[in-house]
Amino acid sequence: ITPGELLCLGSSLAFSGLFYYLYRRKARIVARIQEAPKLQVDDDLPALVSAAEGRCLPYVALEGIVLPAQAALTSHYHEGLQGVIQKLLLKEHRLIWNSLARSW
């Protein structure tokens, strides 16, 4: 066995281990999402959220009727299919000073 073959074998094993680790980590996240409790959008939801730890419910599925703010979007490809656009909100939890890059 030549040193080049050993190098190829070692790098192949290292990459396989890395990719398997990443796969298992994502599989655990998917399992948590699939096991998420299903909640109805009703008057009890705000009380449930405020009673939760940190006022946050991680990985829940909300079921309910969605009403468009203006007009619903209609599909050009499937007749009778309508949808709405969800408003996304990105919230930065905390900022940490990176002294190496000299930025927050």
What's the pLDDT tens digit per position in 78-96?
888 888 877 666 676 667 7
pLDDT at position 14 is 97
8-55 confidence digits (pLDDT tens): 999 999 999 999 999 999 999 899 888 888 888 888 888 988 888 888
Dist. CA 27–CA 83, nearest whole Å: 30
Distance from the first to the final alpha carbon of the chain: 50
Are the CB atoms for 27 and 19 separated by under 8 Å? no
Beta bridge partners of 40: 63
pLDDT at position 95 is 72
Model pTM score: 0.47
Q: Any alpha helices (H) in 35-84, and if so which ranges?
A: 45-51
Dist. CA 91–CA 93, nearest whole Å: 6
